[in-house]
Amino acid sequence: MSSRTTVLFRCRVHEYEAWKAVFDGHEEARVRHGGVGHRILRDAEDALALTVLLEFASPGGATGFVEDVSLVYAIGTAGVEGGAHGGRYHIDILEELDTVAAYGQ
């Protein structure tokens, strides 16, 4: 089983549709860094509060994406509360654990 790395991004946006247009337009950068998929979760009580899970093929790709200057620009133009430098969003890089062997025994 090949492991993947997930970037978890939490934020609140001013308008979901505007944010989503910028997110979709930033796909090339995710793919360039080894992005292989994503999930967008909206809070059940606040539809403008988002948790975004970005899947990458490697930890290096995930780190490269998070450090890419284009991400700062995308956050700044997407309507994320606090903007690119406001600190009102949160990014974590998480590695998947190989638990298949433990369940297969």
For the chain, 105 residues long, the average pLDDT of each consecutive 10-residue run is 82 96 97 97 96 94 94 94 78 73 51
pLDDT at 84: 77
Q: Are 66 and 7 in contact (CB under 8 A)?
A: yes
pLDDT at 1: 46
Q: Give residue 89's pLDDT.
A: 75
Q: Which long-range contacts (CB under 8 A, 24 or more apart) does 26-32 make?
A: 26/70, 26/71, 26/74, 29/65, 29/68, 29/70, 29/71, 29/74, 30/54, 30/65
Entry pTM: 0.84
| pLDDT value, residue 83 | 84
Q: What pLDDT is attached to residue 98?
A: 62
